[in-house]
Chain A
Amino acid sequence: MPRSDRYSIFSVFLEGLRGQTGWGPAWRKASPKPSYDVVIVGGGGHGLATAYYLAKRYGLTNVAVVEKGWIGSGNVGRNTTIVRSNYLLPGNIPFYETSMKLWEGLEQDLNYNAMVSQRGVLNLYHSDAQRDAYARRGNAMRLHGIDAELLDREAVRSMYPWLNYDSARFPIQGGLLQRRGGTVRHDAVAWGYARGADRLGVDIIENAEVTGFRLDNGKITGVETTRGFIGAKKVGLAVAGNSSRVAAMAGLTLPIESHVLQAFVSEGIKPLIDGVVTFGAGHFYVSQSDKGGLVFGGDIDGYNTYAQRGNLPVVEDVLEGGMALMPRIGRVRLLRSWGGIMDMSMDGSPIIDRTPTQGLYFNGGWCYGGFKATPASGLCFAHLIARDEPHEVARAYRLDRFRTGHMIDEKGMGNQPNLH
């Protein structure tokens, strides 16, 4: 083990004196063992968090995470880094608040700087009807002990005086603010969980793409990968974006479509936006990174796709939303844009459940809200795999809820995934 394995001001100071010679890699490059108690497919945020909590909270350390590329190369490194727990429905609120609380203690728990910044998430409203809907949402949150404040126009103006309050079409009337919401450095979440899991004995196996599952009498016995067969008593799938493709190898058809969500970052500018702001009348939300770039996004493109890129109509739509809300960004240049593939479920809510195959567990359907869920998703998936029963805050995320009519449809859009 390297000399300075635990990060602290003292280790930084000590290594400064010793020429930085005592640092080791944050995680080992593990090669697959013949078999494990649990194999997690997918080395993104959710898969790594699952492995970490399996080892940390449930005492299962004979665990491997298999990842087709390098860890954090998927959506955990492609999102807009926002965390919040401002949900409305009973199935969602306790889960996302569990996640929020885990975010609040994450850095101490992992001994890793994930740059958790509770800078506040402000959802603007532009009409009386929208204010009523936000008041209802805020009340639902407060009934669950979550912070929510309904701001009027002047209170919003005192926070962001330069927004366009006098737009004839969508005047800002106020906003719903969750002060505990904010942003987290996304890559550091993957790295922190990977390091934490590795220290507890989890093998993180990169460049191992799953090509099939091996079954014996309907029970899982392992996964076929590009680095050979790996035996497993239990297998957990955390491959959102590609859930349908991986589940199909186990003969499972899912209530999921894959869609692309685009995100954008501008050139670095001086500090402008110290929180997260969402436009209530169009598809635009924005925060500012610590490097100074405006990080923003909008809605999914709306057609099925596995290509990690989108099309121009949505780019135009997002930028129009940005200009309507904050005209002063008009001369800021766009640095880059990219796309990530979302598991869009039939009700806009995720799935954490057993599958009909014994020993195979599924975690997916995160729509465009997977990042904020990372810690709770990992915890609840670890609970499900270790105990074979759902965690109490994830009981509603059943795979069969569409058959039984227990949908969790925050937007009330029905089974049309491109409208969620």
Chain B
Amino acid sequence: MRIHCPHCGERSLDEFSYLGDAVVRPDPASPNAQEAFYTYGYERSNVAGPMQELWYHAAGCHAWLVVTRDTRTHEILEVKSAHEVALARQKVAGTAQ
């Protein structure tokens, strides 16, 4: 498995470390925050198929990446900078308001 870092190009897996499912952290100020944080912290959808996940390019540019990868085949379908993904999500949330 090799990951194509948007900043550094295609690099070996051992340059990266894995955090997990790229789910969005719940809002601590929301009324159901306790339940939402339980789900966020302990329950996993554990997808068999394409999954969005957070990888850190530790031995490279130190960027956090959102990698879409098929957990059945290890095929990497898309790599984006986590910063861009977060900005895009904010934009969507902003439009929704």
Residue positions of A touching B, CB distance < 8 A: 244-245, 253-258, 302-307, 311-313, 316, 346, 402-403, 415-418
Q: How far is the CA of A258 from the CA of B51 in the complex (A)?
A: 12
Residue B84 interfacial (CB < 8 Å): no
Residues of chain B contacted by A245 (CB below 8 angstroms): 46, 48
Residues of B with Cβ closer than 8 Å to A? 1, 12-14, 17-18, 20-21, 38, 41-48, 51, 53, 69, 71-74
Cross-chain contact B44 with A254 (CB below 8 angstroms): yes
Number of A-B contacts (CB under 8 A): 67
CB neighbours of B18 from chain A (8 A): 302-303, 418
Q: Quick check: A257 and B20 within 8 Å, CB to CB?
A: yes
Bound: A416/B18 CA distance, A: 10
Q: Specify which of A245, A302, A303, A418 lies most central, judged by the most chain B CB atoms within 10 Å of its CB.
A: A303
Q: Which residues of the other chain, B, contact A244 by a CB distance below 8 angstroms?
A: 44-46, 48
Q: How far is the CB of A350 from chain B (nearest CB, A)?
A: 15
Residues of B within 8 A of A415 (CB): 41-42
Q: Name the contact of A304 in the complex, choosing from B14, B38, B53 (C-beta under 8 A).
A: B53
CB pair A256–B46 under 8 Å, yes or no, is: yes
Contact yes or no, B14 A316, CB < 8 A: yes
What are the residues of chain B within 8 A of A346 when measuring CB–CB?
A: 41-42
Contact, CB under 8 Å: A255 / B20:
no
A306/B43 in contact, CB under 8 A: no
Interface residues of chain A: helix, strand, loop or mixed (majority): mixed
Least Cβ–Cβ distance between B31 and chain A, in angstroms: 18
Secondary structure at chain B's binding surface: helix, strand, loop or mixed? mixed
Q: In the docked arrangement, what's the CA distance between A415 and B23, Å?
A: 15
Which residues of the other chain, A, contact B43 by a CB distance below 8 angstroms?
253-255
Given the complex, which residues of B lie within 8 Å of A313, measured CB to CB?
12-14
Contact A256 B44 (CB under 8 A): yes
Contact B38 A403 (CB under 8 A): yes
Task: Give the docked Cα–Cα distance between A398 and B48 (Å).
Answer: 25
A316 to B48 alpha-carbon distance, docked (Å) = 27
**Residue contacts A-B, CB under 8 angstroms, 13 given:** A253-B44, A254-B46, A302-B18, A303-B18, A303-B53, A304-B53, A304-B71, A312-B13, A346-B42, A402-B41, A402-B42, A415-B41, A417-B20
Please report the C-alpha to C-alpha distance between residue A418 and residue B51 in the assembled complex, in whole angstroms.
16
Bound CA–CA A31/B81 (angstroms): 53
Within the complex, the shortest CB–CB distance from B33 to chain A, in Å, comes to 15
B72 — which chain A residues lie within 8 A by C-beta? 305-307
Q: Min CB distance, B72 to chain A, in Å?
A: 5
Besides A307-B72, A313-B13, A403-B38, 5 more A-B contacts (Cβ < 8 Å) are A254-B46, A255-B43, A256-B46, A304-B46, A346-B42
